[in-house]
Chain A
Amino acid sequence: MQYEIFQHSKSIYSVKLNKERAGYLPEIKLELERCLPQLQEIAFSLDRLHLFFATPLALDHLVPYIDAVFSTPKKQLVQRNSWRLPICLEASDESDLSLYFKGNAFAVSDYIQRFLSIQFRLEFYGFLPGFGYLSGLPTNMILPRKANPKHNVLPGTVAIGGPFVGVYPQESPGGWHSICRCPIPWINFQTPPHVFIQPKGEVAFYAVDEDRFSILKTQAEQGQLNFDQFKL
Chain B
Amino acid sequence: MIRFLRAGYYTSLQDEGRFGYRALGIPQAGPMDKKAFAMAQALLPLENDCHAIECTYLGPKMQFEKELHFVITGAQGDFQLDGVTIVLNRVYNGKKGSCLDIGKMTKGIRCYIRFLAQLNVPETMGSVSFYFPITPPTFKNNEVIKGNPLGGSDKAMAHLRVDDRYLNQTVLEAKKGPDWGLLSKEQQHQILQAKLSVIAHNRMGYKLAGGLENDFTSIESQMVIPGMVQLTPGGEFIVAMADGQVTGGYLQVLQLTEEAQSILSQKGEACALTFSYIPH
Contact = CB atoms under 8 A, between A and B. Distances in A.
Interface string B213-234: 0000010111101011000000
A125 B27 CA distance: 11
Contacts of B280: 7
Interface in A164-223: 164, 170, 187, 189-190, 194-195, 199
Interface stretch (A62-70, A100-108, A128-136): A128-136
B2 to A, nearest CB: 25
A127 B223 CA distance: 10
Given A45-B223, A45-B247, A48-B223, A131 B25 contact: yes
Interface string B251-263: 0000101100000
Interface residues of B, number: 30
Nearest to B247: A126
Contacts of A128: 25, 245
Nearest to B26: A129
A44 interface: yes
Contacts of A43: 22-23, 223, 246
A126 B245 contact: yes
Contacts of B26: 129
Contact of A133 (B178, B221, B258): B221
Contacts of B255: 8-9
B24 A12 contact: no
B245 A130 contact: no
B125 interface: yes
B125 A189 contact: yes
Contact of A125 (B23, B124, B133, B257): B23
Interface string B63-103: 00000000000000000000000000000000000000000
A115 interface: no
B25 A126 contact: yes
Given A41-B20, A41-B22, A129 B223 contact: no
A127 B218 CA distance: 15
B48 to A, nearest CB: 17
Nearest to A39: B20
B167 to A, nearest CB: 23
A6 interface: yes
Nearest to A8: B255
Nearest to A144: B218
A162 interface: yes
A40 interface: yes
Q: Which 5 A-B pairs have the closest CB atoms?
A: A126-B247, A125-B25, A43-B23, A43-B22, A129-B26
16 contacts: A41-B19, A45-B221, A45-B247, A50-B223, A52-B22, A125-B24, A126-B223, A126-B245, A127-B25, A128-B245, A129-B26, A130-B25, A144-B218, A162-B218, A194-B125, A199-B23
Interface of A: 6-9, 12, 14, 40-46, 48, 50, 52, 124-133, 144-145, 162, 164, 170, 187, 189-190, 194-195, 199
Interface of B: 19-26, 124-125, 133-134, 175, 177-178, 218, 220-223, 225, 227-228, 245-247, 255, 257-258, 280
Given A41-B20, A48-B223, 17 more contacts: A7-B280, A8-B228, A9-B257, A12-B225, A14-B223, A42-B23, A43-B223, A45-B223, A46-B220, A125-B246, A127-B246, A129-B21, A129-B24, A129-B25, A130-B25, A164-B221, A189-B134
